[in-house]
Amino acid sequence: MASGDAVWQHGAMSLIEHYRAMARYNLWMNERLYAACAKLSEVDRRRDVGGFFGSVHGALNHILLADCAWLIRLTRDDQYRARSADGQVIQIKSLDQILYEDFADLSANRSSLDQKICTWAEALSEAATSATLEYKDSRGTPYSHPAWYAMSHMFNHQTHHRGQVTALLFQLGQDPGITDLAVMLRA
């Protein structure tokens, strides 16, 4: 039975099942996206090609940075903090900050975080999705809303910026392949 078959057989997907599917999609897409990016030269990965974060490398760093920030807000767990090679916490100062200059380090940290996102999603409960989330954004503005708002935003944000990266890859002559959630669900 394909991973999506149970959903088709049993009706509509719950919010938690949706987040678990999105966590798997995040992992699946990032594996493909990073493989395509690895085929680029370092110069091409870092070239400002007019993306929202300038380069492919800048966009990939932003997605990782935002995922860390949202997971920390959602869990209050330091395991989601970006860390340097020697284990020191990297202080986030801006949304366009480069966390990892080296593509291999960026890729390894992305892979590690994707596994953590899958583990986090598998442990989600109804109580966690409906809990009130209180946090401050990067400017210090306080927010309070149901946690599912932030969970949905995190997955939507990933998809949005990965779409930008795929466009940049095409500009640089690299085909990232199929990116459809439905293709992953049918596999």
Whole-model pTM? 0.91
Residue-wise pLDDT tens digits, 63-104? 999 999 999 999 999 999 999 989 999 999 999 999 999 999
Alpha helices in 76-146, H assignment, sequence order: 103-122, 126-130
User: In which region does residue 98 sit, left (phi positive, over 0), alpha (psi from -120 to 50) or beta (all else)?
Assistant: beta
C-alpha pair distances (Å), 157 with each of 19, 66, 101, 127, 146: 13, 8, 22, 23, 17
pLDDT of residue 90: 93
Reading the block at residue 167, the tokens are 């466009």
- Give the mean model confidence (pLDDT) for residues 146-151: 96
Closest CA relative to residue 113, chosen from 21, 30, 22: 30
pLDDT of residue 98: 95
